[in-house]
């Protein structure tokens, strides 16, 4: 039997773990500890900064559940996904958004890869660098998906490369994104959001924070009563807000959330030529009823290739889904970075270098 090296310093990796019965892969270096649940979507459910004992990946109230130990009360595509949603970071493909019909197949919320077990292999295991590859073949859609996750020694940067291949002998649509959610206790009303210049729009209901059906530019929006909303801020939980908006036409693909009280933040750099939209899901103590019951404080800042379910932009009839030719493969690399700051961020480069404000 092969046993992995049991280092106690430098970069480390192990695929010998299970969490609540689910195969889990753990990567760490001197600064970060990262855990992915291979048996549930290859979700990143832990991304922790060791120095400050800060966990950036938000957890739902029910957290990690072993789907093999329970039967869903109903087959509703939205409920089934949320029952299994742990928070954290999912690779969403080949459909993102609400349940939809895909080439005669019924697909639920953000499925189907996020509810499937992925294979996992260790690619590199040295004190200088560790890397693991996760793979899955979807069932109701014709995609082969790979995700390579890497850490280097003394680096605060986690590198994630997704690769999608259309294995059909016909064209196939995809909505592909990084479903990343941060929340309390890291996220507080004292936190600051920074990003590159972008346009901003609210597709429909403003959820109490924004005026309905509006368009503008970072960092300002319009509130329901016409007042100015500063998008760099996070409302308190007591405001009971729940809304969704979208950024597009970003000059560069990056954003950062800084907690000045802890002196740390979480940033993401991504290629805007692939991820043209940044979905902004906001739950500030709002969303009554299932599944949130007004009890959560979290935001999703989610780079996507498309709008939800591939719908057109407001005022257009052109679908925003990607279209893969038969056999076509596309890849994209994103980098999550943990940094120290009390003032926010003015820039993050595509290789994860942070410039503080």
The 10 Å Cβ neighbour count of residue 176 is 26
Is 147 buried (19+), middle (13-18) or exposed (0-12) by CB count in 10 A? buried
**What is the pLDDT, as a whole number, of residue 245?**
98
The gap from C-alpha 306 to its chain's centroid, in whole angstroms, comes to 14
CA dist 23 and 278 (Å) reads 30
Q: Is 60 helix (H, G, I), strand (E, B) or coil?
A: coil
Q: What is the pLDDT of residues 171-187, one digit of tens each?
A: 999 999 999 999 999 99
**Arithmetic mean of pLDDT, 115-140:** 97
Q: Is the pLDDT of residue 70 over 90?
A: no
CA dist 237 and 295 (Å) reads 9
**Arithmetic mean of pLDDT, 335-346:** 98
Q: Which DSSP letter does residue 87 get?
A: B
Contact present, 72 and 80 (Cβ < 8 Å): yes
Q: What is the pLDDT of residues 75-93, one digit of tens each?
A: 898 999 999 999 999 999 9
Q: Is the pLDDT of residue 1 over 60?
A: no
Contact present, 135 and 119 (Cβ < 8 Å): yes
Neighbouring residues of 303: CB distance < 8 A, sequence distance ≥ 6: 177, 178, 253, 268, 270, 275, 277, 278, 279, 334
Q: Sign of dihedral through CA atoms 265, 96, 141, 310?
A: negative
Q: Nearest to residue 92, comparing CAs of 118, 78, 112? A: 112
Contact present, 55 and 186 (Cβ < 8 Å): yes
The 10 Å Cβ neighbour count of residue 130 is 27
Q: Nearest to residue 156, comparing CAs of 333, 28, 11, 32? A: 32
* Type and span of the H or E element at 79: helix 77-84
Contact present, 288 and 280 (Cβ < 8 Å): no
Structural class in CATH, domain 12-356: mainly beta
Residue 283: which pLDDT band, with cuts at 50, 70 and 90? Answer: very high
CA dist 161 and 149 (Å) reads 7
* Type and span of the H or E element at 355: strand 354-356
CA dist 298 and 225 (Å) reads 24
CA dist 92 and 138 (Å) reads 12
**What is the pLDDT, as a whole number, of residue 2?**
62
Q: Is the pLDDT of residue 67 over 60?
A: yes
Concatenated DSSP letters of 168-201 = SSS-EEE--EEEEEEETTT--TT-EEEE---EEE
Neighbouring residues of 16: CB distance < 8 A, sequence distance ≥ 6: 4
Percent of the chain at pLDDT above 90? 94
Residue 9: which pLDDT band, with cuts at 50, 70 and 90? Answer: very high
**Arithmetic mean of pLDDT, 119-146:** 97
CA dist 357 and 355 (Å) reads 7
**Arithmetic mean of pLDDT, 312-337:** 97
CA dist 139 and 158 (Å) reads 29
CA dist 228 and 50 (Å) reads 38
Q: What is the pLDDT of residues 205-252, one digit of tens each?
A: 999 999 999 999 999 999 999 999 999 999 999 999 999 999 999 999
The 10 Å Cβ neighbour count of residue 318 is 7
Q: Which of 4-18, 117-131, 229-243 has the lowest mean pLDDT?
A: 4-18
Residue 293: which pLDDT band, with cuts at 50, 70 and 90? Answer: very high
């Amino acid at each position: 039997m092969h046993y992995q090296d049991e280092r106690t310093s430098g970069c480390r990796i192990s695929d010998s773990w299970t969490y609540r019965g689910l195969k889990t892969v753990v990567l760490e270096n001197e600064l970060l500890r990262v855990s992915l649940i291979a048996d549930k979507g290859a979700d990143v459910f832990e991304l922790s900064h060791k120095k400050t004992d800060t966990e950036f990946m938000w957890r739902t109230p029910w957290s990690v559940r072993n789907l093999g130990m329970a039967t869903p009360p109903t087959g509703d595509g939205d409920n089934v996904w949320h029952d299994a949603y742990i928070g954290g970071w999912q690779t969403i493909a080949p459909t993102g958004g609400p349940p939809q019909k895909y080439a005669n197949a019924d697909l639920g919320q953000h499925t189907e890869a996020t509810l499937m077990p992925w294979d996992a292999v260790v690619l590199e295991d040295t004190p200088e660098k560790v890397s693991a590859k996760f793979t899955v073949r979807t069932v109701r859609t014709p995609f082969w998906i790979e995700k390579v996750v890497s850490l280097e020694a003394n680096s605060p940067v986690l590198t994630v490369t997704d690769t999608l291949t259309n294995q059909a002998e016909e064209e196939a649509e995809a909505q592909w994104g990084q479903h990343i959610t941060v929340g309390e206790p890291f996220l507080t009303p004292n936190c600051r959001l920074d990003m590159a210049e972008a346009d901003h729009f609210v597709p429909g209901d403003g959820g109490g924070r924004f005026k309905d059906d509006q368009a503008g530019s970072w960092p300002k929006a319009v509130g329901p009563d016409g007042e100015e909303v500063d998008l760099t801020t996070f409302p308190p939980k007591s405001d009971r807000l729940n809304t969704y908006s979208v950024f597009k036409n970003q000059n560069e693909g990056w954003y950062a959330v800084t907690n000045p009280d802890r002196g740390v933040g979480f940033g993401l750099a991504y290629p805007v030529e692939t991820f043209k939209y940044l979905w902004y899901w906001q739950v500030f103590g709002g969303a009554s009823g299932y599944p949130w019951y007004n009890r959560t404080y979290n935001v999703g800042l989610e780079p996507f290739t498309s709008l939800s379910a591939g719908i057109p932009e407001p005022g257009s009839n052109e679908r925003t889904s990607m279209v893969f030719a038969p056999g076509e493969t596309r890849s994209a690399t994103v980098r999550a970075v943990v940094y120290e700051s009390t003032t926010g961020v003015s820039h993050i480069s595509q290789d994860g270098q942070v410039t503080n404000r």
